[in-house]
Amino acid sequence: RTCDQLRCTACDFRVSLFNDYIWDQTCDYLFFRNNMPELSKLRAKMIKKKGARAYACQCSWRSIDELIDLQTEQKLRWVCGKH
């Protein structure tokens, strides 16, 4: 389970999460920079996968389909945005 109020300290965007989806491998920085946070545009690179979760801000993205400690991801600058 993860915080649903994550915020990126690098781009200052709220991290969006999408249950039962992963990101297409062709995703790149410019795709997210130009399309966040518009779901209608993001869907172009979302792949349905039961039990997975896709995360993205404007500068970083991750697809998770198994338990992982996101705190070990040095490149991510996501923190709790406070509840």
Q: Is the pLDDT of residue 74 over 70?
A: no
pLDDT at 25: 96
Q: Which residue has the higher pLDDT, 55 or 68?
A: 55
Domain that includes residue 37, residue range: 6-66
Closest of 16, 8, 13, 15 to residue 77, by C-alpha: 8
pTM of the model: 0.84
1 has pLDDT over 60: no
> Is pLDDT above 60 for 50?
yes
- Say how many domains are in the chain: 1
Q: Give a yes or no: residue 73 inside a domain.
A: no
Name the pLDDT band for 45 (thresholds 50, 70, 90): very high
Q: Is residue 36 part of a domain?
A: yes
